[in-house]
Structure 1
Amino acid sequence: MSNNWFRRLLLSYLPIFFIVTTILFFIFFQIFNEQNRREALKANEFLASQVTQYLDNSLRSIDFKVLREILTNSNLKNYFSVSGSEDVYAGIQAVKVIDELKIEYPLIDSVYLVRYSDNTVFSNGKAMPIHDFPDATFIEDSRSRDEQKWVGARSFKAFPSQTAEQVITIVRNAANGRGLVVANVELNTLRKSIMQMYDPEFTFVNIYNRAGGSLWNNGMPEDHIMSGPTLASKTAAASGEVFSEFTSSYSGWKVQTGLNNGKIVKFALQFYNIWFIFAAGVVLVGVAWVVYVTRRNYKPIQQIVTLIQTVSSQKPSALNYGKENEFRFIHTTLERMIDQTRQYQEEHEENLILQKKVFFQELLEGTRDYSGHELSANMSRFKLPELEHRWAVLVVEMDRYDVFEAEYHQQDQALLKFVLSSILQESARHEGTDVWAEWVSEQWLYAILWLPETEHSEEMEARLLTDYLDRIGQYLNFTVTIGVGRVAVDLRGLRASLKEAVHALEYKAVLGTNRIIPCSDVPNSTNDVYEFLKTISLLVQAMRLSDEVWEQHFERLFKQIRQSVLSRQEIMNTVQLLFQHYNREFAELPQEYKETWAAIFTPLLPRLEGWETLDDLRELCLEGFRELARQMQSLQCSRKHRSHILEIRKYIEEHYTNPDLSLNYLSDLFDINPKYLSKLFKDELGEKFVDLLISHRIEKAKQLMQETDKAIQEISEEVGYTNYNSFNRAFKNVVGMAPSDYRKAM
């Protein structure tokens, strides 16, 4: 008998063995590299955090010191107050201030003062006109723009003959805008300080300013640095891999750290030869083992072949019987497998839509990373255009979705959603492009829009979306609002575009429905928490006192929200802040007030999650507040001496300047027991008599200090304090600083 089967088995096993061995090689090196990468990543994260902390602490300390000198140093103030021949002594004192700054902070390379009154610059002990100073252009730029924290990197020299140095600069206005204090930190000194934290042979550290320029490369983006010393740093950074990145919350600078790949490769190759010899030995042992196993497994096959040859020598009837039974079994098995395959095929066709949707979400939300080959294979599998050029993400949100659910049956809802996505695809085809849209939730339709590489792609996108809204308004009885992300050229940009589109829809509450909201057109929110708190406090106090002016404060609060152009989340935060104030204020009131608050707003809170526009939220809140005001009015009218306490409160507001005003004085005036009067203040007004009186006096004192030049002693007597020490102590307790310090700060 020939050894045909033996050779077949041998040739069948060997490829599998080599494939498995190759995979093991790959897995080993992958694990080895990944382990090294993780360790390097941890070290680089720590290094990046330390560099960022060092930069923040150093620059913030310098900034704070400069600002403190501007605000507190009388010599510096005196320098900016004089001009011309009067500034000799002032200049000497200014030199002392500058020298003290340099001594205290060695990172400071130079400091010069700019005085607007005579347009001079004081640097290195000399005064010169601004136009003769080498840094005149920078001074003019700083004078015409708002203050910045740190500017860099830039070239600076104090004298025309001096060699320019690379510095970063802090510019601060001095003496109420009468001049500038400019402090320069030399980048070379800063870099040497940072290089003490790491070994440049193995690690690199790059720092980028807000504009994306490297501080070590003259503040320019790295692709513009082509020669000179900076070329070496550029090459080092380009040959290395960025392992960690931190952005400073103070300066906004970005710190990147990583390893130089040359060292990693050299380290890995040291073990390659040893591992290769060991792996070759394993391969030889494996080949011998496969030959042995093949020979061993060949014996049962040989026995089966011999048995078949023995059976084939029997009578034909017996042979036919045996073959018939075997083929029937094989035939039955194959039919069952074919039926199962057909069933699996049908299930695959049914699940293809779901798989496409899952792939869409993974692609946009970044829950899975795709290689280039995997991405192309999936795009081809679902018959989608290749992601080769430029795209933008659209998020279409149905307006008034609760009304939509109430008006249409579930089947009709599914049909109308299909119509919405079909209209979008039709609008895209009309503009000569393509769009991939999927419903990721009941209310949101996500879409990827392919954009051609032309100058008019943005106009085409605007036409497409406008046409889409027009068609919806023409054919359907509801509207949608569209959030649009920026144009992307890779998967990371695509996912960022999705976040921008979702963020743009956050402003639908203020900007309105049935519109297109590009992320580039989203206005900057001016979330003035102090003004909100002030209005909320007035609203709560007015509601607590059943003062009808509470509706004016309520309308003012929502007007402030609308003018500040807040996102939905910021609006909800403001409303939660309002409710927190109510909870705190009502916690101090009698039990019946607490029960009234709970009975009205407990059922209202779930409804506040479903509002869509600011007007919806306003109506919901206004409804609850009106009911609360009505019930509180009923409660307060029934309480004894309510009219008395309001009358007394009004009397305090009109006569708080009376130095004899006290609790006993009021009890004699209104014929009420002092202890009971004190309790009425606490129950009805929520604060003690003394606190109310001091509050009115201190507020009036602050107003007089802001609007008049009266002496503080005179102001204290005018607001009802005959003893200045008492006024000083009360002012400090309320405001947090002495009256004289408050006037200076103002």
Structure 2
Amino acid sequence: MNNNWFRRLLLSYLPVFFIVTTILFFIFFQVFNEQNRREALKANEFLASQVTQYLDNSLRSIDFKVLREILTNPNLKNYFSVSGSDDVYAGIQAVQVVDELKIEYPLIDSIYLVRYGDGTVFSNGKAVPIEEFPDADFIADSRSRDEQKWAGARAFRAFPSQATEQVITIVRSVGNGKGLVVTNVDLSTLRKSIMQMYDPEFTFVNIFNRSGGNLWDSSMPGGGAASTKTTSGEVFSEFTSSYSGWKVQTGLNNGKIVKWTLQFYNIWFAFAVVVVLIGVVWVIYVTRRNYKPIQQIVTLIQTVSSQKQSGLGYGKENEFRFIHTTLERMIDQTRQYQEEHEENLILQKKMFFQELLEGTRDFTSTELTAEMKKFKLPELEHRWAVMVIEMDRYDTFVTEYHHQDQSLLKFVLSSILQESARHEGTEVWAEWISDQRLYAILWIPEMEQAEETEHRLLAGYLDRIDQYLNFTVTIGVGRVAVDIRGLRASLKEAVHALEYKAVLGINRIIPCSDVPNSTNDVYEFLKTISLLVQAMRLSDDVWEKHFERLFEQISESVLSRQEIMNTIQLLFQHYNREFAELPREYQESWAAIFTPLLPRLEGWETLDDLRELCWEGFRELALQMQTLHCSRKHRSHILEIRKYIEEHYNNPDLSLNYLSDLFDINPKYLSKLFKDEIGEKFVDLLISHRIEKAKLLMQETDKAIQEISEEVGYTNYNSFNRAFKNVVGVAPSDYRKAM
């Protein structure tokens, strides 16, 4: 072969490797950068909102508290109402108000009161003239302004000897120009509170007042305009307070985190390059190593193929196609041989099982040992018992499950039995000989009691079936055998035990030793059957009592299934003989009910099932028998009444009530009988008969119409005329003229 697969493999691996690696690098860094950017934006946006919310809540609370004290505190009102500075008590009360505010709000640096009545400023418990107070310019500026908002960062000192501090201030007027309450918040304290929300080493927060001045810039005492980028870094988020009108900006510093990220990126890139180089070397090495066995395989296959099929030219095919074709053919042949072997083995094993139990083939000791080894079965050296497992309600099972599901569930039944046997430390060989029954041979160790081993195994087996499956089984067990003849006898005993499933019940174990002796008293059965048939023939409700007694006798006698069926057949024979002597309609009723019932009698399992089937048929037959008896009795009555009407139609008093009194029948029931048996109402029948007689008299005699009317039973001529016209279609006179 001239194809060089080493180069092909090498050129096939490398492009894919480089493309995939490049795409992964690109996707990784894109996703990583995008994720970092989004997380940074979210974090900064949250920080800006928290700082803004904190500023608004803190400053608004101070402002509202001061305003509330101005409006409601009597001590503060009393201080501004006094015109002179000699009221010491009013000053003490004002000091208490100021101290309470400073204690409640630690952000407040100082509060001083300006009273225009005497031109004094009350600060730190002392009253000084306004013009001597260090903050006199701010007071004058605040008095001239109408709006009262927080002033940006400014320098403040309460005494000339005191150091200057950076504060923000809110000014509130008292009364109608009586004075001012000036509240200063320490800017350094406020900044420390805000810095607790973030790490200044990685993040910055700038706050700008309305004029654009940065509150943190202490070099601008007036809070004038300044550059909005006082801290190096990129601004990620910005919020403007709706209360103070200040602007909050947040972002990241160009500090250690950026440098670390760049260093990590460089390290990762270098690592990626190294990995790519290692990958290239690895692909070359693996390709070279893998090509050698491929070349050896191709050479070997080519040699074998050229020996077996020298006429086929494989030399021009590529290696893998040649290998694929050869292996595919070999795999198909191997699979076919394996399937045939397994299928034949399963059939042979099942055939051997039947021959072993049914006795259709005699085995020598050598043949038996060879067959057992062939199918990997334990040797028949100890004791065994045959079990027959019958599925209960098999008709329902076939109806509810698909054919494939039925096969699967039967396999599960066999598997659970084998698992239960292994749990007891023994072996079981089970085969489905019929659709409904699983036959099994149980190996019983010599050191154990056979009955105890069987009971434990089968009890656990029934428990597992009840736990995992939706149906039940009944198990017949034969006696323990020590040779093949006893094994076959054990099979017959197990099958015979299942015959008593109808009486003993389903979902249980029936050992052959527990099968009772039947007490089949034919005379008692015949007596009960005779009484039942006679009561049914006479439509006597006592038939129900005899029916129940018959099934009680069957249950008490503990009959096998075949004996029960013989008893039911005897019952049906009596019915056939008795109904053969009855009229045809009775025989038809019997045939209509019991002909479809007979096939259903083959599918019952318990005595209760058989009783239910027979009860439905006998109850329906009893109802029809009663209906036929009543119908025959009523038919004789209605024929007698009809004959009376034909003879006495001319009686003017003839009516439904007249007939009911005469024949002692309820009028409504009599009307129903006419409709059911004759097919028309009594009135229609009487009128029809009278009009027909009147037409005959008009044809054969010259009697007057009035006379004919009275003769046919009409005392009123108008009634006759109307009835005649309704039936014939013309008046009586017109009818006679036409005749």
Q: TM-score, normalised by structure 2?
A: 0.41
Q: Decide which structure has the larger Cα Rg and report it.
A: 2
